[in-house]
Structure 1
């Protein structure tokens, strides 16, 4: 039971907030502060078109000016030895929720997962108390301790017929993917947002890319 609680904590503690955002700042970056006040220590700079999570409830409150944000410790949400993301505060005026951007309905972008049934042959799968804790050394997004049903074979991304290379590691830890998603665009940057799940292990993923390639992959769960 203690281990099960640990699994649940791991898969939910990565994102305790309810919304994804980018910054709204003409300077091209916004300061993240240690405490919710103007003179607090600056612990990070969020840059234009970088996605992060923020406290949705506080954001829509008239009584709160500084909003708690959560930032992954590497831009592809690949495990780096810590379960904790960076937590800080950003002034409300600098936060632009992703879902307030007009959804992109153009045709110059192609985004498509090629999937297949999960094949455990020749994969290193780590268990503890019958629960899967890692596959090929990575946390398996989209499961709740059991074996995945669907794995990603390939992710095809094209912009104006130009293919974007997707490193294998960026699709090797995401499971139960489908091709239902929302696309947003700002300038020449695209954001593909979706939820994936096997029914219990729901997770959120946002891909950020330009014609130059993948800029960021944000992956996490919320409670």
Structure 2
């Protein structure tokens, strides 16, 4: 019983964290080192930038984000973002084994999955660990922990 209580406490404390998009009437927000106003501005993010938010502390939200290939952290005022969970849901229109299409009011999103063809991509590996993949076609990638991907996911509006 004690273990279940500890697990419930742990998961309830991390359950709030979610993605959000910067949305401010000025077109940008100041990121601060501390959860207060003053001369502690560490960065600036434009509208549309995606951040990872933790539980708000009074009127401030602690965020993590990646900018210029660096992971960063800071605080912003709570009304300067829109959580992804608040966006309008787009229902599934069509699904196959390798493709899904979402559609609402004439707006379509197509997501396809296919085999990743490493022979047609430029792969860059770490200098010290030649088996760890760093970039694909000069770009960062997600989902393999440094290994060569087996699948390629591509999304685009129709």
Which TM-score applies when normalising by structure 2?
Answer: 0.60
In structure 2, runs of 5+ residues without a counterpart are 1-15, 92-103
- Which deviations, in whole Å up to 9, do the C-alpha atoms of 1:126-159 show, x marking residues without a partner? 362633333334343221333211124x64423x
Distance 2:139 2:46 in 1: 27
Q: Is 1:35 paired with 2:21?
A: no
The 3 A distance-change label for structure 1 pair 29 and 147 is closer
Give, in whole Å, the separation in 1 of the partners of 2:42 and 2:25. Answer: 20
Structure 2: distance between partners of 1:99 and 1:72 = 20
Matched residues, number: 128
Check if 1:157 corresponds to 2:143.
Answer: no
Corresponding residue for residue 135 of structure 2? 134
Q: Is the 8 A contact 1:34 1:40 kept in 2?
A: no
**The residue matched to 2:118 in structure 1 has which SS?**
coil
Pair 1:95 & 2:64 matched: no
Aligned-pair Cα RMSD in Å: 3.1
Question: Match of 1:93, SS?
Answer: helix
Q: Which has the larger radius of gyration?
A: 2
**What's the secondary structure of 2:85's corresponding residue?**
helix
Report the Cα offset of residue 28 of structure 1.
Answer: 4.2
SS of corresponding position for 2:152: strand
Structure 2 counterpart SS, 1:64: coil
Q: Normalized against structure 1, the TM-score is what? A: 0.46
2: CA distance, partners of 1:103 / 1:91? 26
Cross-structure match for 2:59: 65
Higher relative contact order (CA 8 A, sep 6+): 1
